Structure 1
Amino acid sequence: MMRFWPLLGVSLLIFGACVPNKKLVYLQKDDLKRRKEIPKDTVLRSHTLNIREYRIQPLDILSITFETLSKEGDESDFLQKLSTRTSSGGSGGGGGSGGATNGIVVNTEGEIDYAVLGKIKVSGLTLFEAKDSIEKVASQYVPDVVARVRMMNFRFTILGEVNGENTVVSGNTRLTMMEAIGLSGGLSELADRSHVKVLRQKGSEVEVFYVDLLKEEYVESPYYYVQQNDVIIVPPLKQRPFRKYFVGNLGVITTVISFGLFIITLSR
């Protein structure tokens, strides 16, 4: 009878360390309960996304290039000097190896500053709105000018129970939480996907909120999209200590228990 209790305790600890599928599958509804009933090649339901276009902030770094249909040499040289992208010869193969790319920093007042064009307010604008504002100013000097504006330092940091803690820089400013997790290498099996913490900078303040990645309705949340400088912290499940420390040392624990039972048996 004495041998039964240690074995029962070990069994309870092992099964207590198991992680069910309902704690691992992203954006689930009731699909896990009725897998065999789900029709294939059929739209089950749809969600309306709460899309929020990224708005430029002070200290953002922008890549701004200009183009025009005009063939005048002076105008072309003028625009080339304004562009943040300059070619240094050679032919790059998609990685930009044939040229150097420099950005222009948005100052603390939310402006970009050109020697000829002057200061242009871009903070609070989307990239497309900033493009229109820059084109309006540049068209006073060069007709038919087209500006192309892109973010160069859109980044987020992901920490905790992930397959690789990292600060990720992306060229895509409309980045969902799922895409951000994918770019960082994904979450570990012991990550608590139902209580993911996000720190979001808003001016001189930091907002703190939690999101539940297990619920399908999360795609409709205003927090579905990652913002500049977001810090995503993924906590562990309560099974983590068992899986990491107990199961990893199960052989040692079993040996100790067996040795203890052996000593008890001999002492009778």
Structure 2
Amino acid sequence: MYLQHEDELSERDEIPRDTILRIHQMNITEYRIQPLDILSVNFESITDEEYDFFSKINPQRVGAGINQTLSGILVDTDGNIEYPVIGKVNVAGQTVFEAQERIQKIANQFLRDAVVRIRLLNFRFTVLGEVNNENVVNSYNTRITMMEAIGMAGGFGELADRSFVKVIRQVGNSSEVHYINLLEEQYIESSYYYVQQNDIIIVPPLKQRTFKKYFASNLGLWTSTLSAALFIVTLLRQ
């Protein structure tokens, strides 16, 4: 059972209905833009198109059916995106809303009643191991819980160890390794409750997996070997 609190499920009849049992403070961290992220930056204004140089270079104005990540703006290795006239704008380390506000101020200098909208196009994470569909998941939503991430990978396999899930998280130029327990309710307050960009989630198997997977075939092999040995012994005795 996921997110258990002590042994309350052993006394289900005593759990009150329609009542708040506990409140957990969520450790929500807004995603911050990193180098090599791909952004959708959309400008709208009432400025005449002939004077609106943003509209001429807006990568979102492309044909339908084209992969949006191919039409987005790539953040360079120094954390900048670049436009004609205004030059480079540094957005690394900022949340999407902070970057949006920064570019909004710049756009206001050139456009009338400008509206700037930014979205991250390449938010992704990888789920491997004892899940029903190992996958690299791409999403436009940057606030995905670990439970949702596992669900996007088809859910846990029957013999997945839900109490010892490994998370490899990229932080700057380093990677942090952490193990999480999805069976404890207190996990809701963990900084790993939400998936981050480029997370690698590895679900290990329970120890019973190897036994269950190979027992039947091994038993057949042992039985065949024993039968052959008994047959040889019988022939030698005759």
Which TM-score band applies after superposition, normalised by the shorter structure?
0.7 to 0.9
Match of 2:22 among 36, 40, 45: 45
1:66 aligns with 2:53: no
- For residue 78 of structure 1, what is the aligned residue in structure 2? 53
SS in 2 for 1:158: strand
Match of 2:74 among 76, 100, 105: 105
User: How big is each residue's C-alpha offset from its partner over 1:69-95, in whole Å with a ceiling of 9 and x where there is no partner?
Assistant: x252324x533224221143xxxxxxx
1:198 and 1:232 in contact (8 A); partners too:
yes
1:249 aligns with 2:225: no
Match of 1:238 among 188, 207, 211: 207
1:151 aligns with 2:128: no
- Aligned pairs (5 A) from 1:209-224: 209-224=178-193
- Whole-Å separation in 2 of the counterparts to 1:106 and 1:38: 51
Q: Which has the larger displacement, 209-218 or 34-43?
A: 34-43
TM-score after normalising by structure 1: 0.78
SS in 2 for 1:225: coil
2:49 and 2:55 in contact (8 A); partners too:
no
Taking every aligned residue pair, what percent have the same amino acid on both sides?
Answer: 55
Shift of 1:256: 5.5
Q: Aligned partner of 2:44: which letter?
A: E
- Whole-Å separation in 2 of the counterparts to 1:134 and 1:216: 41
Q: Aligned partner of 1:212: which letter?
A: N
Shift of 1:31: 3.3
User: How big is each residue's C-alpha offset from its partner over 1:24-76, in whole Å with a ceiling of 9 and x where there is no partner?
Assistant: x21111233122322333322221100000000000000110112x252324x
Equivalent residue pairs, number: 229
1:200 aligns with 2:169: yes
- Whole-Å separation in 2 of the counterparts to 1:71 and 1:44: 55
1:229 aligns with 2:217: no
Shift of 1:249: 3.3
Q: Aligned partner of 1:73: which letter?
A: E
- Whole-Å separation in 2 of the counterparts to 1:237 and 1:116: 59
SS in 2 for 1:135: helix
- Whole-Å separation in 1 of the counterparts to 2:82 and 2:41: 12
Kindly report structure 1 stretches of 4+ aligned residues shifted beyond 4 Å: 253-260
Structure 2 CA distance for partners of 1:207 and 1:79, relative to 1, 3 Å: same
TM-score after normalising by structure 2: 0.87
SS in 2 for 1:226: coil
Q: Aligned partner of 1:186: which letter?
A: G
